[in-house]
């Protein structure tokens, strides 16, 4: 009598096994990535390229789902979410980054970079790569440097032809101590706020102006709420592709290489879009009604910041600043 009972048990076990859903040999993992600007932007093309490359290079085992226009939070909130593991990836300006990795602050010094080739060589060379190594201790992995570009002043009050024209303007700034210190020297009233709040603040007159690269000004449609722009190029603004260290640590060695390679492709797309925006944005914004001051005596703006440069030399070490300024 034991044999039929055994056969019955085996039959039930087989039937139960057949009823279970099949498990794919290699399940797909979806990672969330958030940016503060629209999909049609220098960040948008970068993260879209990153998503395509990750999926292709991992054979579809990883998929990156992108969220745009701050759908999952502003830049600082995104970085905090990476640290606690509630967000997987972000592309961010360096605005809030010194709150997490103070060493990055030096890159936000005004008039530090000469031009795009200089800035890109600094970030791609040992100076920039050494800085990327500071992130893992903060629960973040920096996959690559991207960029926003050289920042310019806009406002709704008056043309800015010289530093004195900035006095008394209430300007939105990034949550960045280096920027705030420098802009106070210009006589600006700095008003730090998250980028996701800027358009409304300009529209309502909470602030008179803001400063951002041409790519951001165009993507955010600031010409709708700002009448004047001056091409001051006062700060080169890098960007970063960041990943939660908790997620990074789950990757195999080959997948880590795939993510790093995908980030390099994202940077190529990002910089190509910046180059394109730099070529066309001024004419485009002027055609939409902005009054643009193109010929700027940058030496006057730098002279105004002379006392601040002395303070930055003490804070960061003049040798460190000169190493970046003179890098070739």
Residues 6 or more apart whose Cβ sits within 8 Å of residue 200:
206
CATH number of 27-325: 3.40.190.170
For the segment 289-311, what is each residue's pLDDT rounded down to a tens digit?
Answer: 999 999 999 999 999 999 999 99
Q: What is the arithmetic mean of pLDDT over 251-277?
A: 97
What would the pLDDT profile of 138-159 be if each residue is shown by its tens digit?
Answer: 999 999 999 999 999 999 999 9
190-197 long-range contacts (CB < 8 A, ≥24 apart) are 194/36, 194/70, 194/74, 194/75, 194/76, 194/77, 195/36, 195/37, 195/70, 195/74, 195/75, 195/93, 195/95, 196/36, 196/69, 196/70, 196/74, 197/74
Q: Span 223-236, mean pLDDT?
A: 97
Give this prediction's pTM: 0.87
C-beta neighbour count of 12 within 10 angstroms? 10
DSSP 193-248: --GGGHHHHHHHTSSSEEEEEHHHHHHTTGGGT--EEE-----EEEEEEEEEHHHH
Domain residue spans of the chain: 27-325
On the question of pLDDT at 7 being above 80, the answer is: no
**Burial of 148 (C-beta count, 10 Å sphere; 0-12/13-18/19+):** buried
Contacts of 102 (CB under 8 A, 6+ apart): none
Per-residue model confidence as pLDDT tens digits over 91-112: 999 989 999 999 999 999 999 9
What is the bridge-based pairing of β-strands 89-93 and 29-34?
parallel
């Amino acid at each position: 009598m034991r044999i039929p009972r055994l056969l019955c048990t085996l039959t039930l076990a087989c039937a139960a096994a057949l009823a279970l859903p099949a498990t794919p040999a290699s399940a797909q993992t979806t990672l969330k990535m958030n940016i503060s600007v629209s999909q049609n932007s220098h960040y948008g093309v970068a993260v879209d390229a990153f998503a395509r490359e990750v999926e292709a290079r991992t054979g579809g085992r990883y998929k990156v789902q992108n969220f745009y226009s701050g759908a999952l939070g502003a830049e600082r909130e995104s970085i905090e979410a990476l640290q606690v593991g509630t967000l997987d990836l972000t592309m961010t300006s360096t605005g809030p980054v010194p709150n997490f990795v103070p060493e990055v602050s030096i890159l936000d010094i005004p008039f530090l970079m000469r031009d795009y080739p200089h800035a890109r060589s600094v970030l791609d060379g040992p100076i920039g790569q050494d800085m990327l190594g500071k992130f893992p201790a903060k629960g973040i992995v920096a996959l690559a440097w991207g960029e926003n570009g050289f920042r310019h002043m806009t406002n709704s009050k008056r043309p800015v032809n010289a530093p004195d024209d900035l006095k008394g303007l209430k300007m939105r700034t990034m949550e960045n101590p280096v920027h705030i210190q420098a802009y106070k020297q210009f006589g600006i009233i700095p008003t730090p706020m998250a980028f996701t709040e800027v358009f409304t603040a300009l529209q309502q007159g909470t602030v008179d102006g803001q400063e951002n690269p041409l790519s951001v000004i165009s993507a955010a449609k600031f010409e709708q709420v700002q009448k004047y722009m001056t091409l001051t190029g006062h700060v080169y603004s890098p960007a970063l592709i960041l990943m939660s260290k908790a997620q990074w640590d789950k990757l195999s060695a080959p997948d880590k290489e795939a993510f790093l390679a995908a980030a390099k492709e994202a940077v190529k797309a990002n910089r190509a879009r910046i180059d394109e925006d730099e070529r066309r944005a001024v004419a485009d914004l002027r055609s939409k009604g902005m009054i643009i001051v193109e010929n700027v005596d940058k030496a006057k703006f730098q002279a105004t910041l002379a006392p601040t440069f002395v303070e930055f030399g003490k804070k960061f070490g003049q040798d460190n600043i000169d190493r970046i300024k003179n890098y070739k």
